[in-house]
Chain A
């Protein structure tokens, strides 16, 4: 959706046409679901958090500054809620793989290859789990959402320098873990 189209929808919601907000939900829920899942690694928590993101957005849309992108704003809400969630549930054991039932699986022809890749994925997942939430947020937005450094800075309300340092530290830590695990 174009920036202008989004703004038009946002203005309508601001003017009381609340049903228009469902358009924004349809537009962003898939992307937000994936991003939030990458942060929390738990399907039911992800669903709750995505719901909360949209409720926060709806309540705060009157104060949304139209000079920013709606996407940046809603990602900021999503990442803040995810970081808060991670801080709250830091000690909780997270099931590593809940996805098979909920996500469509791409089938591999070779079961041995599939098993080997599955082990590697688990190692990477484990490594990602060990990242601090603030570094993880930057890493997720850059690696999976392909946000630019500037966009990440706006979404997380941090400086570009902080984005670079967090990203660098995150990759350094992942590298160390994966080297130790023998994945690299």
Chain B
């Protein structure tokens, strides 16, 4: 054995923790190697000096008073309880059990969130999820179905809802369109709260007519089938929203700020922003950037300056002007939504 290995074993040799064979080898080496022997002697000296400071036993008085203190404290303690073997099979397993429970909980929460995102429920208004509302929708659909049939027979437009109307050209005409409308309405009726039957009536006539903008207008039968699962409902809605004729009929308005909209707010009306008369034109920055929040009616709900003109008074004037702008609201899944957009304003002299 070389010196390095022997020196590593010196502590164990001192503590008599070596096997007989190693002990013999170390002893033989120490007899031959003066350096290792000196090292061992120093270790031995440290050990002996440490034993020198070994205190004598504490006095009986100290121990007695300590025992009394301990006894008193323990007398106030509750007796130790043994855990039930059935309820608590092994104390050591609790951390693992807790970990599994936490993992399962997180997995469940993630699953629910993913499903909800998939269904687009985050954007749905509270009323559409309400069962009561669904029942009302079904009832309305039932009534609409009756009206649609009447419209199909009679040709003249059915009663219109008290809503805003927008002119649209319907590609289908006459009975076929009415039939399509009726069939779609029958499927959709259970979930729609404000059906009126107007579309079917208009379509029956095969004309370019007014159509409700803010309502879901479908016709349907009384015994409208209820989709079995939420996924089916979603598919149903998707299939209907894809139909070009139903674009506006599907439109709903949600007063919820949406960040990932499909179509951003489009500027309809704007006014030129001019440099104020008392401004130092040489120092003024002409390109000003703003962050604008457009509400569902196309008005500016909030405006902040991101890149300033360099003058507070001028910035204030820009903000006042921009607040008067009108926008086409942003759309998300064919619904009008509140959204933010970045607006760049060029100052004119």
Contacts and interface: CB of A to CB of B under 8 A. Distances in A.
The secondary structure that dominates the A interface is helix
Contacts of A164: 11-12
Given A58-B77, A104-B57, A178-B46, A167 B70 contact: no
A183 B54 contact: no
Nearest to A173: B46
A171 B59 contact: no
Contact of A63 (B43, B46, B55, B91): B91
Q: At the interface, is chain B mostly helix, strand, loop or mixed?
A: helix
Contacts of B45: 175, 178, 184
Contacts of A69: none
Interface stretch (B60-68, B239-247, B314-322): B60-68
B83 A62 contact: yes
Given A29-B63, A142-B15, A168-B11, A124 B55 contact: no
A47 interface: yes
A140 B82 CA distance: 33
Given A22-B71, A29-B63, A184 B42 contact: yes
A14 B81 CA distance: 7
B58 to A, nearest CB: 5
Contact of B70 (A51, A63, A99, A143): A51
B74 interface: yes
A135 to B, nearest CB: 12
B: interface residue count bin: 35 or more
A55 B77 contact: yes
Contacts of B82: 14-15, 62
Contacts of A142: 15
Nearest to A106: B56
A121 B74 contact: no
Q: Report, nearest first, the 6 A-B pairs whose CB atoms are least far apart.
A: A62-B80, A103-B56, A54-B70, A121-B53, A124-B49, A61-B80
7 contacts: A14-B80, A21-B74, A22-B71, A33-B66, A103-B58, A120-B49, A149-B17
